[in-house]
Amino acid sequence: MTQFEKSAALYERAKRVMPGGCSRNTILRKPHPIYAAKGEGCYVTDIEGVRRIDFANNVASLIHGHAHPAILASVQTQMALGTAFTVGTEIEVQYAEQLVNRSPNFDMIRFVNSGTEAVMNCIKAARAFTRRPKIAKVEGAYHGLYDFAEVSQTASPANWGNLKGPASVPVSRGTPQSVLNDVVVIPFNDPETAIAILNEHKDDIAGILVDLLPHRIGVIPAEQSYVAALRKWSTDNGALLIIDEVITFRTDFSGAQNSYGIKTDLTALGKMIGGGFPVGAIAGRAEVMDMMNPLNGPAPFPLYGTFSANPITLTAGSIAMNLFDQAACAKLNALADKARFGIAEAIKIAEVPACVTGRGSMFRIHLKEKAPNNYREAFIGPEEQKCLSALLDHAFGNGLLMVETGAGLLSTPMGQSEIDHLCDTVLSGLRKIKPMMLKN
């Protein structure tokens, strides 16, 4: 029997009933995925019995790791009372109050079922409010699967065009040209170029969509001057500033936007606010959120959803966010500082051209000597991808689960021993792939 015989057999079954053998491509790895048997704290045990430290956390959605006792207990209690209703529940009101009180930029909120939905509905609300069609977004930034949000998410040197005017590049085959025409692509952390591009479309732009610590671009913080320039342009030109905090809300008690000192118009939330269950939310200033209000006649933007605000998700989310208070957030961010420092030390010791970026409880390893500042600098070519894949395979073989980009996310059950194991594994992995890196 091979070490992964159960997983290999299960994947053969999966391929017969699902395209690619899965419902989400992120679980795929060669020669086959692994399958979880259970999660406990910051560890995942697969069906072969192998236990690994989870630095992926279902891509940032498990701020307290797996099977937190308080979350489980609250959900079990609610499940006995019902899982979804066609009438309201008190937890919807209570959790809305809780999240609105968490950020000065949230006057009102509505719940949906995923980060993709949250971003989509922010865009639709911005269009309804401004009566304009176009959305501006950052090149390379991931904002889910909505046609307009995914444009230029996977742009490459072959099609991304001039930096002074990035092309609107489709992700999915068959994306209508009309979609591409209504998405204005701007570079990250280049305020002068971004403003020049925005000025060409100033009468048509409903909103600017920005992730302040974009994962796909490289977990690189947006510069203060860049965010300030976008905020000023939006205000001056009657557009909205939409912040995607589906991942980054974990980086500060009030979200990543809290450190920029600006008033945002709309925020998309998701992942960790569901306490481990599917969730999304749209939060923002009252007059914009009123676009969804049906009490004064038909809403300019009607918003429905069968499972939106279901009591299971909101119960779990409320407990999770109560547990992630100011002290817990500060403690986790301090632990992540140690992780980033330890990884940087490993890079120095290994003497390889690499670097680590990140903020809050997030980090990303780049096999580049200098930290990138935008999507084009962060872009991974074929040879670099081979090296990165080898490093991640080494990490996997040594008991670590990480995101396929080389990123990692911490959870509150983690401590110094998990960070030490991470840094030791990165060091041994970098030494292992050093000949490959230097060859390239």
27: pLDDT strictly greater than 90: no
Question: Where does residue 399 fall: left (phi above 0), alpha (psi -120 to 50 degrees), or beta otherwise?
Answer: left
Q: Are 169 and 154 in contact (CB under 8 A)?
A: yes
Q: What is the dihedral of CA 157, 159, 162, 168, to 10 degrees?
A: -130
- Is the model's pLDDT at 208 over the cut of 60? yes
Residues 332-358 have a mean pLDDT of: 98
Reported confidence tier of residue 4, pLDDT bands at 50, 70, 90: confident
Angle at the Cα of 285 (from 282 to 291), degrees rounded to 5? 70
| pLDDT tens digits along 123-155 | 999 999 999 999 999 999 999 999 999 999 999
Q: Name the segment(s) of the chain with CATH classification 3.40.640.10.
A: 69-323
Q: What is the pLDDT of residue 440?
A: 65
The tens digit of pLDDT for each residue in 58-92 reads: 999 999 999 999 999 999 999 999 999 999 999 99
What number of other Cβ atoms are within 10 A of residue 295's Cβ? Answer: 6
- In 3D space, the residue among 68, 90, 109, 103 whose CA is nearest the CA of residue 316 turns out to be 68
Take residue 286 and report the two structure tokens written for it.
């009252």
What is the rounded distance in angstroms from the CA atom of residue 163 to the CA atom of residue 145? 24
CB of 245 closer than 8 Å to CB of 257: yes
- Residue 152: half-sphere exposure toward Cβ, Cα within 13 Å: 31
212, pLDDT greater than 50: yes
Closest of 152, 92, 111 to residue 268, by C-alpha: 111
Residues 430 and 225: their CA atoms lie apart, in Å, by: 35
CA 378 to chain centre: 17
Q: Start-end ranges of CATH 3.90.1150.10 in the chain?
A: 34-63+325-439
Give yes or no for a contact between 410 and 416, defined as CB atoms under 8 angstroms apart. Answer: no
Asked if residues 309 and 266 have their Cβ atoms less than 8 Å apart, the reply is: no
Give the count of beta carbons closer than 10 Å to the beta carbon of residue 282: 27
Q: What is the pLDDT of residues 371-417, one digit of tens each?
A: 999 999 999 999 999 999 999 999 999 999 999 999 999 999 999 99
pLDDT at 2 > cutoff 70: no
Model pLDDT for residues 243-297, shown as the tens digit of each residue: 999 999 999 999 999 999 999 999 999 999 999 999 999 999 999 999 999 998 8
Q: What is the mean pLDDT of residues 167-196?
A: 97
Rg of the chain on CA atoms, in Å = 22
Tell me: pLDDT of 30 over 90.
Answer: no
Write the pLDDT tens digit of every residue in 215-253.
999 999 999 999 999 999 999 999 999 999 999 999 999
The pLDDT of residue 1: 44
C-alpha closest to that of 329 among 274, 278, 255: 255
The pLDDT > 70 percentage for the chain reads 99
- For 367, the token pair is 């096999």
**Averaged pLDDT for residues 95-110:** 98
Q: What is the pLDDT of residue 396?
A: 96
Please give the pLDDT value at position 26: 86
Paired tokens of 321: 């966010």
pLDDT band at residue 11 under the 50/70/90 scheme: very high
pTM above 0.85, yes or no: yes
Contacts of 308 (CB under 8 A, 6+ apart): 110, 111, 112, 113
Block residue for tokens 């009607």: 302
Extract the tokens encoding 374. Answer: 């935008």
CATH 3.40.50.920 applies to domain 34-63+325-439: no
What are the CA-CA distances from residue 255 to residues 181, 209, 336, 378, 387 (Å)? 32, 16, 16, 24, 33
Lowest mean pLDDT among 3-7, 38-42, 57-61: 3-7
Structure-token pair, residue 177 = 């040209």
CATH of 69-323, one of 3.40.640.10, 3.40.50.720, 3.40.50.12160, 3.10.50.40: 3.40.640.10
Q: Give the residue-averaged pLDDT of 182-198.
A: 98
